[in-house]
């Protein structure tokens, strides 16, 4: 059964770079596209972007200038980097598998909380 | 981007009652690529419905989705105790993917 596990520093200083990884087990990382979504405490969901099986990416325009996603197939990991963070980037960050037929997020990891604070 | 507005913000109902949740889009959702997710405290969202009316694998048939264009509805025919949660709609037909603000279904 597919499992997704997000990991990374729980605390990042303002202006620094947030770096997270999502480790995939129980399935093929190269068979799917992958998304990152975030959720500030007590608030709604914000789609950060997607990395496709081709390696191409599609980022939310609101974050595009600060976001980089990549896949390491050998390590079975998807990475997210968000630079120049502020307190507004404090959220639970989820990685999710993208359904190949319908292009939506059909399975999510449990998420990891990242706090931006000095 | 397409803005999704969910209503009501909170729905207070009793187990066994019917729940009707609304999601309205600021413009037509391409190919009715509209999904519904359920989220419980401390958990990740779970996909319930995709393409407006198709149930995801393992989702009970008391959950149904309907609608097209800009107006969509999630109906829970008879609320079970485990159905009290937050529900989000999502459109994935036009980039960027966007989510509604959520509807909380709480026990009355």
Q: Compute the count of residue pairs across chains A and B with CB atoms less than 8 Å apart.
A: 55
Cβ-based contacts of B102 with chain A (< 8 Å): 44
Interface touch A106/B56, C-beta < 8 Å: yes
Q: Give the Å distances, CA to CA, from B1 to A65, B26, B77, B98.
A: 17, 9, 32, 8
Structure tokens at B14: 């009793």
Taking residues B55-82, report their average pLDDT. Answer: 98
Q: Give the Å distances, CA to CA, from B74 to A31, A60, B52, B79, B96.
A: 31, 26, 9, 12, 22
Nearest to B99 among A45, A107, A108 (CB): A45
Interface touch B33/A107, C-beta < 8 Å: no
Q: In which residue are the tokens 């059964």 written?
A: A1
Phi (first) and psi of residue A45, to 5 degrees: -95, 140
Question: B84 pLDDT band (50/70/90 cuts)?
Answer: very high
Tens of pLDDT, residue by residue over A11-70, are: 999 999 999 999 999 999 999 999 999 999 999 999 999 999 999 999 999 999 999 999
Taking residues B52-79, report their average pLDDT. Answer: 98
Show Cβ contacts of residue B41 under 8 Å, excluding neighbours closer than 6 positions.
Answer: none
Show Cβ contacts of residue B82 under 8 Å, excluding neighbours closer than 6 positions.
Answer: none
Nearest to B90 among A49, A61, A104 (CB): A104
Contact criterion met (CB below 8 Å) for A115 and A12: yes
Tens of pLDDT, residue by residue over B13-34, are: 999 999 999 999 999 999 999 9
Question: A100 pLDDT band (50/70/90 cuts)?
Answer: confident
Structure tokens at B59: 């989702």
């Amino acid at each position: 059964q597919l499992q997704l596990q997000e990991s990374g520093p729980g605390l990042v200083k303002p202006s620094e770079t947030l770096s997270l990884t999502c480790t995939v087990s129980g399935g093929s990382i190269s068979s799917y596209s992958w998304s990152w979504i975030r959720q500030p405490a007590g608030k709604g969901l914000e789609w950060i972007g997607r990395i496709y099986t081709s390696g191409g990416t599609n980022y939310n325009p609101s974050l595009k200038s600060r976001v980089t996603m990549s896949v390491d197939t050998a390590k079975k990991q998807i990475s997210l980097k968000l630079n120049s963070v502020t307190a507004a980037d404090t959220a639970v960050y989820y990685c999710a598998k993208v359904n190949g037929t319908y292009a939506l997020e059909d399975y999510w990891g449990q998420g990891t909380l990242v706090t931006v604070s000095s | 981007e397409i803005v999704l507005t969910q209503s009501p913000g909170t729905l207070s109902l009793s187990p066994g009652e019917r729940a009707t949740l609304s999601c309205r889009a600021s413009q037509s959702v391409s190919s009715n690529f509209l999904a519904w997710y359920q989220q419980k405290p401390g958990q990740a969202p779970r996909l319930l419905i995709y393409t407006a009316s198709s149930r995801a694998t393992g989702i009970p048939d008391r959950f149904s989705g309907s609608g097209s264009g800009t107006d969509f509805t999630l109906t829970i025919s008879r609320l079970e105790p485990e159905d009290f949660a937050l529900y989000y709609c999502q459109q994935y037909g036009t980039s960027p993917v966007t989510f509604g603000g959520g509807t909380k279904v709480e026990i009355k």
